[in-house]
Structure 1
Amino acid sequence: MKLIAIVFAALGSSGLALAGDDHGGPAIPRPYTTGATLTKAVQAGISPDKAIDILKAGNARFVADKPLKRKLKAQVHTTALGQFPYASVVGCIDSRAAPEVVFDQGVGDIFTARVAGNTVNEDILGSLEYAAKVAGSRLVVVLGHTSCGAIKGACDDVKMGNLTTLLEKFKPAVAAASTPGEHNSHNHAFVDDVTELNVRQVVQKIRDQSPILKAMEDEGKIRIVGALYNTSNGKVNWY
């Protein structure tokens, strides 16, 4: 805890535009406009539930193949010295499941942390704590996806270099699944169950291993939720 406080203090006084240049002063909340570049005032007006609604609307546009026509280069210039994302997403490295794409988001809208199997470790937890406590993110989403290679590898007890240690993180979900039939990647229902269990377990792990985020959720300042992206139709389901 002391180390995190020291890091936050150092970042805040370094002059670096790492997560926005001005996080110290209060902001008068302003309404959110779909597709507009986020400011501190607009971020301040977004509740955790509103953040979920924004992501749901973005995914609906993605599924309908009607993404917003953003001027991304203009957003690059607008956010050059500061950013005020409203949500953080822990996603998988899978090339089909990029959060900014499947949620139809622009530059400066969401923080993303990606690792095979959408799990967390101390580095990702620290990043999420920074995003919420310092940078003002209102939501943490653990985004799993169907047909996940990491989950399949864990189901098959794959051993390969450093991947072996990573796949061990999914073994609790593998052990908890009670799907009928053989418990390996050939059983698609089993893989689906393990995938969902893993998302739910990672959500709980965030609460258990980050007192900062747990306290913020208990106080209603953020929400920590799970979601699952379907690689067949592009739709995100929430739980």
Structure 2
Amino acid sequence: MCQECSKATISRRGLFAGGLALTIAASSSSLAFAQAPDGRPNSAEEALMRLKEGNARYIANAPINADHSVGRINRSMGQQPFAAVVTCADSRVVPELIFDQGPGDLFVIRVAGNFINEDGLASLEFAAAVLGIRAILVLGHTSCGAVDATIKSIKDNTLPPGHLPRLVNAIRPAVYDVMASNPDNLLAAATAKNAQLNASVAATSGPILAEFHEKGTITSAAAIYDIATGKVAFL
């Protein structure tokens, strides 16, 4: 790449980064979203209720978001999700189906073990300050392989190969937290605790998310998706 082209690329990146930072700063300081567009929840409580109602439709096999071509042109102009879902990368967990929502309704962050790292936190900050989400849901699920691998790692006092220790170390606090009480189902208890701990991370991480939560603009919750039944149990 020529020197002038390289300078131009760096300049454009700098402008983008600066513009994004200003947008987030302005949104965070005012803690005021633009008026919600038609059909989008106006409050954090309404956002969670919409997720619960959507899951009820999913369980009943009565979806109302079956035609994904509807609104395609409008979506090309920008996104307006009403909630963010931090969920596992497990291929059986599909938030848009589980909550019967259409494209553009949910801002989904996926990582094996549904924990919030620095990248996930930054994504949630963007969703809150720029996109105007009303709720953050950390969604664990039954038979989670990442949580199970963490339990086995602790019991065997070994670490898995490659980069997998990063997953284990992220989930480890939840496992240790519940092991002391010797639950009948350690996997289920650790999965629930992991979702709850990360929902707390979303609610208390400053400066952006903590401020939105303190003002009641956004709420964070934890839930467990039962793969066998389709039901989401809010914790």
| Shared fold (TM-score, shorter chain, > 0.5) | yes
2:148 equivalent to 1:152: yes
Contact 1:179 1:190 (8 Å CA) reproduced: no
Take 1:160 and 1:88, find their aligned partners in 2: how far apart are those partners?
31
Aligned mates of 2:176, 2:96 — CA distance in 1: 32
SS in 2 for 1:73: coil
**What TM-score, normalized to structure 2?**
0.81
2:197 aligns with 201
CA drift at 1:97? 1.1
| Deviation of 1:203 (Å) | 1.3
Aligned length: 206
Identify if the C-alpha distance between structure 1 residues 98 and 12 changes in structure 2 by more than 3 Å, giving closer, same or farther.
farther
Alignment match, 2:19: 9
CA contact (8 A) 2:65 2:100 kept: no
CA drift of 1:207 comes to 3.1
Is 1:110 aligned to residue 106 of structure 2? yes
Is 1:228 aligned with 2:230?
no
2:84 alignment partner, one of 75, 85, 88: 88
Contact 1:63–1:233 (CA under 8 A) maintained in structure 2: yes
> Which residue identity is paired with 2:182?
P
**Fraction of identical pairs, as percent:** 35
| Partner AA of 1:159 in structure 2 | P
Letter in 1 for 2:122: G
| TM-score between the two structures when normalised by the length of structure 1 | 0.79
Judging changes above 3 Å, is the alpha-carbon distance between structure 1 residues 12 and 77 closer, same or farther for their aligned structure 2 residues?
farther
Report what 1:17 is aligned to.
none
Kindly tell me: are residues 76 and 12 of structure 1, through their superposed partners in 2, closer, same or farther at Cα, counting changes over 3 Å? farther
Cα distance, 1:101 vs. partner? Answer: 1.1
Which residue number in structure 1 is paired with residue 215 of structure 2? 219
- The structure where helix makes up a greater share of residues is 2
Residues 197, 214 of structure 1: alpha-carbon distance in 2 compared, 3 angstrom cutoff: same
Residue pair 1:87, 1:111 contacting (<8 A) in 2 also: yes
Q: 1:125 aligns with which of 107, 121, 143?
A: 121
Amino acid of the residue matched to residue 54 of structure 2? G
In angstroms, what is the RMSD of aligned CA positions? 2.2
Q: Is residue 179–residue 193 contact of structure 1 (8 Å, CA) maintained in 2?
A: no
Bigger Rg, structure 1 or 2? 2
Unaligned runs of 5+ in 1: 1-5, 14-23, 30-39, 182-186
155-164 or 88-97: which moved more? 155-164
Match of 1:190 among 165, 186, 207: 186
The 1:147–1:109 alpha-carbon spacing in structure 2 relative to 1, beyond 3 Å, is: same
